């Protein structure tokens, strides 16, 4: 009997198929991680944009705070509603992005006391 020390063509082909399946699965995971990273970055930017507006409203004159909306860098639509009583104003802010589709949104709110 002859001893064979090499691999057959069928073994090599099966190993290549298994390797291709593993690489395809890893590729799908990497694509999902990249998409999650982009979504998290957009959410962080939208939240920062919203908090920036709330800080501007807190620094402004109490009597000049009113409902309105604006667009920031053509990426985010900020729309806020002001409701008031005798001692405070409540601001409800919605940040929507992208502006063209409005696919994502966050809601922020704050209360500003009358001086």
Nearest to 79 by CA among 43, 38, 109: 109
Domain ranges of the chain: 9-113
6: confidence class by pLDDT, cuts 50, 70, 90: low
Tell me how far apart the alpha carbons of residues 115 and 106 are, in angstroms, rounded to a whole number.
Answer: 29
Report, as an integer, the average pLDDT of 1-12: 74
Helix H or strand E segment including 4: none
d(C-alpha 32, C-alpha 29), whole Å: 5
CATH code for the domain defined by 9-113:
3.30.1300
End-to-end Cα separation, the chain, in angstroms: 100
Contact 69, 81 (CB under 8 A): no
Give pLDDT tens digits for 19-36.
999 999 999 999 999 999
């Amino acid at each position: 009997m002859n001893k064979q020390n090499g691999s057959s063509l069928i073994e090599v082909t099966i190993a290549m198929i298994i390797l291709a399946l593993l690489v395809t699965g890893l590729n799908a995971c990497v694509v999902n991680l990249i998409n999650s990273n982009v979504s998290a970055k957009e959410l962080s930017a939208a939240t920062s944009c919203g908090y920036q507006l709330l800080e501007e409203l807190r620094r402004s004159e109490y009597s000049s705070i009113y409902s309105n909306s604006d667009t920031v860098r053509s990426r985010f639509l900020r729309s806020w509603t002001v409701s008031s009583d005798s001692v405070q104003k409540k601001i409800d802010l919605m940040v929507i992005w992208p502006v063209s589709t409005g696919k994502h949104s966050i809601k922020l709110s704050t209360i500003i006391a009358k001086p």
